[in-house]
């Protein structure tokens, strides 16, 4: 007997091929131009004409491409989870204040350090320290939003509460910034621009580890997430532990968003825009299809944004946040103007 | 605690209602029910009298205030949600949230209590889903999106989802509230057929009192004064139906076997 639920195998093959091509284009671009052939040789461990090319590719471009893939897919999955959990197409890690929570964590670490203990030099803040601060911050803010969500139930109110938490954290950051030194402020500003580069292989391993934990948690809630599509009451009547599902969603979202935001800064719009684009492409609500689809699409779009931010043939790199917003905002507007109803 | 009983649902001295910090609000008390399997039961009563509260209590959505409920000879409180999902399935009156679920995906969700952690559908699952489509005569809708369906079609598909859950008891909360006469009768005859042919125990809360009189094997009446349950014919004989509505407005007419409006 044939299961009539579509598997979308061809679309997935196409997406994976696109991902490979885009990754390769991303690695081939940069301020130093490296011949395509030498690039291949480097990637597949052969004899390279110039040793500096190998260093550039292996220690700079490859880590950056991997970071882009993880950031893109992690944020997109988080956005999808939030949209399903809140049954609201406007939900996403950014809107619900998770990113501002991470910002607050980092701000307290960088800007607040001199207020609470001046002995800590700002240069001792490793990416790991930032990662922990951002994770704690994002988890606390998301928890606060979730507790409020349990009380009000109305999804619009939840979004407004999320925005309010965003304003609150922004206010606290302003106060911290007012009392900080110029160098601390600059360090925080650079973090908030977002950046995919500058990660060492050790940091990438840490990023991948936490990302993997988040993804494993998500895989275990695919089944209950699908039943939540018909509402909490039906889900309960089918034996789903709604509270547990919500908590796992909360934990995996804050792990994914927290670790990504801490290593790469608050990346805008990807978490909101990619799930919608994917839903338009796949026209399904089935999480067994949507989760891998959103992960691959997110990675592809992040790689494209990063390739644009490279400003090919130039020495400058634009802040990645500018590119994702330039790309994300018109898409959301276009979707709304088309008046096509978005089913989430 | 386990009672040996042939009744699929047995309720004794049940009180239903809500508890808050300050007070206990009793909606109805002294409810007694003894129901055999394979019956179509209609739960009748005015708006706001507590039909939904009773259904919510019987389906483990909210706790009872007093008394005992036995489903399939097992005390309701001893079921966990996963096991209870294999005994009782629901068709709710609430609207489905917007999604692009297909009809097949929706009906297949009914298999969730039985599938593995990722929701893999085995051949047995596929066969049960297929038979749910056949019983409800909805096979032609299989590939449609749920949002494309009319209210009548959606109601049938929701019943198919409950059938895919393959439970001995199906509880429906006002399933015909949004339907015209054709689809209302269609839905009720489907439910009647499920009870007689497939031995499902079906509990329906409804305002279609005249249809209930014709089709239901048993009636549960929630009247302002008391709760009455029993075979339809016996309740008619005992003149219990007159208690259901304000006698100045509506009365039960024995010769027509219908509720009729009192002449002004």
Burial A73-95 (b: 16+ CB within 10 A, else e): bbbbbbbbbbbbbbbbbbbbbbb
A324 within domain boundaries: yes
pLDDT for B3? 45
Torsion angle (degrees, nearest 10) of CA A282, A285, A287, A293: 20
CB-nearest partner of A1 from B85, B127, B147? B127
> Which position has the higher pLDDT, A182 or A32?
A182
Q: Does B106 touch chain A (CB under 8 A)?
A: yes
Range of the domain at A208: 9-337
Q: How far is CA A107 from CA A137, A255, A265, B242, in A?
A: 10, 19, 11, 72
Map out the domains of chain B with their CATH numbers: 36-63+80-261 (3.40.50.300)
Determine the pLDDT at residue B2: 45
Looking at CA atoms only, how far is residue B73 from chain A in angstroms? 20
Tokens of B253: 């007419």
- CA B58 and chain centroid, separation: 10
Nearest CA in chain B to A236: B81
Any domain includes A178: yes
Rg for chain B (alpha carbons), in Å? Answer: 19
Question: Would you tell me which residues 128-167 of chain B have a C-beta closer than 8 angstroms to some C-beta of chain A?
Answer: 130, 142-143, 147, 165
A262 belongs to a structural domain: yes
pLDDT of residue A343: 58
Q: Is residue A344 part of a domain?
A: no
Banded model confidence at residue A119, pLDDT cuts 50, 70, 90: very low
pLDDT at A336: 65
Would A342 be classed as within a structural domain? no
Over residues A305-317, the pLDDT tens digits come to 999 888 766 777 8
Residue A144 lies inside a defined structural domain of this protein: yes
CATH of the domain at A35: 1.10.3470.10
* Number of domain units in chain A: 1
Predicted confidence (pLDDT) per residue in A207-237, tens digit: 999 999 999 999 999 999 999 999 889 999 9
Rounded to two decimals, the pTM is 0.88
- Say if A3 falls within a structural domain: no
How far is Cα A305 from Cα A311, in angstroms, rounded to an integer? Answer: 10
Instruction: Give the Cα separation of A276 and B100 in Å (integer).
Output: 12
Pairing mode of beta strands B227-231, B218-222 = antiparallel
In order of B12, B16, B53, the CA distances from B67 in angstroms are: 6, 9, 15
| Predicted local confidence at residue A120, as pLDDT | 52
Asked whether residue A343 is domain-assigned, the answer is no
Start-to-end C-alpha separation, chain B: 55
Using an 8 Å CB-CB cutoff, list chain B residues near A236: 61, 81
């Amino acid at each position: 007997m044939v299961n009539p639920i579509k598997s979308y195998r061809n679309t997935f093959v196409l997406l994976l091929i696109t991902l490979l091509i885009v990754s390769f284009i991303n690695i081939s671009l940069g301020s130093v131009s490296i011949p395509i052939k030498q690039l291949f040789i480097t990637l597949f461990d052969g004899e390279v004409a110039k040793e500096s090319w190998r260093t550039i590719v292996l220690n700079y471009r490859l880590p950056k491409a991997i970071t882009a893939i993880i950031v893109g897919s992690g944020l997109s999955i988080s956005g999808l989870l939030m949209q399903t959990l809140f049954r609201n197409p406007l939900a996403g890690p950014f809107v619900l204040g998770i990113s501002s929570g991470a910002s607050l964590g980092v701000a307290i670490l960088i800007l607040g350090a001199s207020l609470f203990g001046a002995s800590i030099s700002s240069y001792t803040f490793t990416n790991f320290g930032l990662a922990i601060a951002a994770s704690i911050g994002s988890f606390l803010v998301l928890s606060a939003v979730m507790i409020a969500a349990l009380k009000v139930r109305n999804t619009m109110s939840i979004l407004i509460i999320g925005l309010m938490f965003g304003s609150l954290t922004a206010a606290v950051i302003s106060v911290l910034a007012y009392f900080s030194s110029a160098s601390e402020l600059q360090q925080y500003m650079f973090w908030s621009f977002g950046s995919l580069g500058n990660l060492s292989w050790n940091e990438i391993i840490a990023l991948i580890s936490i990302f993997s934990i988040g993804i494993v948690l998500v895989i275990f809630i695919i089944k209950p997430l699908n039943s939540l599509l018909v509402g909490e009451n039906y889900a309960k009547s089918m034996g789903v532990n709604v509270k547990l599902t919500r908590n796992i969603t909360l934990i995996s979202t804050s792990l994914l968003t927290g670790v990504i935001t801490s290593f790469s800064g608050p990346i805008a719009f990807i978490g909101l825009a990619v799930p919608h684009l994917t839903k338009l492409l796949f026209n399904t609500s089935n999480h067994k299809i949507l989760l891998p689809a959103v992960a691959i699409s997110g990675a592809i779009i992040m790689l494209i944004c990063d390739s644009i931010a490279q400003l090919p043939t130039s020495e400058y790199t634009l802040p990645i946040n500018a590119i994702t917003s330039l790309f994300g905002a018109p898409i959301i507007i276009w979707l709304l103007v088309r008046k096509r109803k978005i089913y989430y | 605690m386990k009672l040996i009983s042939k009744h699929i649902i047995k309720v004794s001295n049940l009180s239903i209602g809500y508890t808050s910090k300050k007070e206990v609000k009793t909606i109805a008390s002294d409810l007694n029910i003894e129901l055999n399997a394979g019956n179509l039961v209609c739960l009748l009563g005015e708006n706001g009298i507590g039909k939904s509260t009773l259904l919510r209590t019987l389906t483990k959505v909210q706790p009872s205030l007093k008394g005992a409920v036995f489903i399939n000879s097992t005390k309701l409180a001893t079921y966990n949600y996963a096991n209870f999902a294999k005994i009782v399935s629901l068709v709710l009156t609430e609207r489905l949230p917007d999604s692009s679920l297909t009809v097949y995906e929706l009906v297949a969700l009914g298999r969730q209590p039985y599938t593995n952690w990722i929701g893999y559908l085995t051949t047995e699952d596929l066969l049960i889903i297929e038979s749910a489509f056949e019983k409800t005569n909805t096979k032609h809708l299989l590939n449609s999106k749920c949002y494309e369906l009319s209210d009548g079609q959606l109601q049938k598909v929701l019943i198919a989802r409950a059938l895919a859950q393959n439970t001995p008891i199906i509880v429906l909360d006002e399933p015909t509230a949004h339907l015209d006469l054709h689809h209302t009768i269609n839905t009720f005859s489907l439910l009647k057929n499920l009870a007689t042919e497939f031995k499902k125990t079906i509990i329906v809360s409804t305002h279609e009192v005249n249809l209930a009189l014709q089709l239901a094997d048993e009636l549960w009446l929630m009247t302002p004064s008391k709760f009455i349950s029993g075979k339809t014919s016996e309740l008619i004989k005992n003149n219990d139906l007159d208690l259901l509505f304000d006698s100045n407005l509506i009365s039960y007419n024995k010769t027509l076997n219908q509720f009729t409006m009192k002449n002004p």
